[in-house]
C-alpha cells in the first residue's frame, strides 16, 4: 500500500492536501483545496504504480492513465462529478474531480436498518432514474465507458437531493484492443455487486450488462436492507438468491422482476441495455415470464462456462487413459 501524502502538501502549485478520504492498493483519494479558486474543495484520485515494475510497464500505465483521464475530463453529466484536471507528480498520477458532499447510499441503508425499516421504494426509484440516466450516458460514449464498480458506497445523495456516481475513476474503456491494454483506474468491484464475468482477471466479457448487474444488485440492497447472494454463491447453488419481495413485501412486482432479470448470471439473459431496465422498473403490467427460474440461471451459468468445462473434461479423460 502506497505512502499517504501529508496534509498541507501542495501539488502542481494549486492543490493543497486536506487529508485522505480513502486508500487502496494502488493509491488513495484525497480531499484538497483549489488554491486558484478559493473556496473550492476537490477530490484527488491518486494512482501510485509499484516502483519495482519494469520501465515498459510503467510507461504503459502512464499512457493508459492519460488516455482514460482525457476521456473522463470531456464527460459532462449532472449525476457524474466533473473531472477538471489530471497531472503527474513524483511518479504518481492524479485525477482531479468535484468533491461531492452528503451521505453515500450505504450509510442510508444502514441507518434504515438500525430503525428496523426499509427505504421507501418511491424514493429509491427516483434515485434509480438518475443512475440509469448516468449509465445510459456513459454507455453511449465512443468508446463506451463501463463503470464496473456500482454499489451503494459509490453513490452519494447530495444535500440538494441529486444523486452522484462518485467513484468516477473506476471505469473500463471498451476498446478493440482491450485484451492488450492495462486499465489503470478501474475497479474490481465488491463481491455482492460483481457479475460472474468480472471475477478474476478476464475483462474480455465486461460490457454494459456488467453495469446492469451491479445496478440491479444495488437496488436489491437499497430495497431489502441486505446485499444479494454473490454470483459465485449462486453459481454453486442458485437457490441462495432470495427474491426481494420475500424480504420486503412492499416492493412492487415489476420492480422485483426487473431486479431479478438484471441479476441473471449470464449477461445475455439480462436487459439488453439500461434504458430497458429503467422502463421495466416503471411498468406495472410486466408478465410473469420474468419470474426467477433457478434452473434457467444454472443453465445460463453452465453455458457461460462451457469452454472451461470442456477443458476440465478433456484433462480428466487424459488422466484416466494415462493412469496404469
Task: Provide the annotated active-site residues.
Answer: 149
C-alpha cell belonging to residue 303: 453455458
CA quadruple 138, 139, 144, 150: dihedral sign: positive
- Find out whether 159 and 103 touch, Cβ atoms under 8 Å: no
Among residues 265, 208, 189, 206, which one has the least CA distance to residue 232? 265
Task: For 172-205, give the DSSP string.
Answer: EE--TTGGG---SS-----GGG--GGGSTT--TT
Q: Could you identify the residue written with the cell 476440465?
A: 312
Helix (H, G, I), strand (E, B) or coil at 274: helix
Cell match 471475477: residue? 199
What's the 3-state SS for 142-166? CCCEECCCCCHHHEEECCCCCEEEC
CB-based contacts of 265: which residues, under 8 Å, 6+ apart? 195, 196, 231, 234, 235, 297, 300, 301, 304
Q: How buried is 138 (Cβ within 10 angstroms: 0-12 exposed, 13-18 middle, 19+ buried)?
A: buried
Given 3-state DSSP classes, what are the helix, strand and coil percentages for the chain, each rounded to the nearest 5?
Answer: 45, 15, 40
Amino acid at each position: 500500500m502506497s505512502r499517504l501524502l501529508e496534509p498541507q502538501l501542495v501539488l502542481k502549485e494549486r492543490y493543497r492536501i486536506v487529508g485522505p478520504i480513502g486508500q487502496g492498493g494502488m493509491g488513495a483519494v484525497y480531499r484538497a483545496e483549489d488554491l486558484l479558486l478559493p473556496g473550492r474543495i476537490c477530490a484527488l484520485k491518486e494512482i501510485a504504480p509499484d516502483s519495482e515494475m519494469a520501465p515498459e510497464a510503467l510507461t504503459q500505465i502512464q499512457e493508459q492513465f492519460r488516455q482514460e483521464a482525457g476521456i473522463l475530463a470531456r464527460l459532462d453529466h449532472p449525476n457524474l462529478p466533473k473531472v477538471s484536471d489530471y497531472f503527474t507528480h513524483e511518479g504518481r498520477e492524479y485525477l482531479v474531480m468535484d468533491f461531492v458532499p452528503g451521505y453515500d447510499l450505504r450509510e442510508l441503508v444502514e441507518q434504515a436498518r438500525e430503525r428496523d425499516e426499509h427505504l421507501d421504494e418511491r424514493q429509491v426509484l427516483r434515485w434509480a432514474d438518475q443512475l440509469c440516466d448516468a449509465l445510459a450516458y456513459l454507455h453511449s460514449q465512443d468508446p463506451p465507458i463501463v463503470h464496473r464498480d456500482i454499489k451503494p458506497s459509490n453513490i452519494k445523495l447530495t444535500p440538494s437531493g441529486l444523486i452522484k456516481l462518485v467513484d468516477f475513476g473506476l471505469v473500463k474503456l471498451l476498446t478493440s484492443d482491450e485484451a492488450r491494454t492495462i486499465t489503470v483506474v478501474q475497479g474490481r468491484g465488491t463481491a455482492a455487486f460483481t457479475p460472474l464475468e468480472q471475477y478474476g482477471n478476464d475483462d474480455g466479457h465486461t460490457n454494459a450488462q456488467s453495469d446492469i448487474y451491479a445496478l440491479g444488485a444495488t437496488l436489491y440492497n437499497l430495497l431489502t436492507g441486505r446485499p444479494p447472494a454473490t454470483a459465485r454463491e449462486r453459481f454453486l447453488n442458485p437457490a441462495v438468491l432470495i427474491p426481494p419481495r420475500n424480504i420486503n413485501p412492499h416492493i412492487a412486482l415489476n420492480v422485483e422482476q426487473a431486479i431479478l432479470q438484471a441479476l441473471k448470471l449470464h449477461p445475455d439473459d439480462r436487459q439488453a441495455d439500461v434504458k430497458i431496465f429503467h422502463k421495466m422498473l416503471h411498468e406495472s403490467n410486466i408478465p410473469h415470464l420474468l419470474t426467477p427460474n433457478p434452473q434457467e440461471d444454472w443453465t445460463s451459468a453452465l453455458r457461460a462456462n462451457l469452454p472451461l468445462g470442456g477443458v476440465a473434461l478433456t484433462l480428466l479423460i487424459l488422466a484416466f487413459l494415462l493412469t496404469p
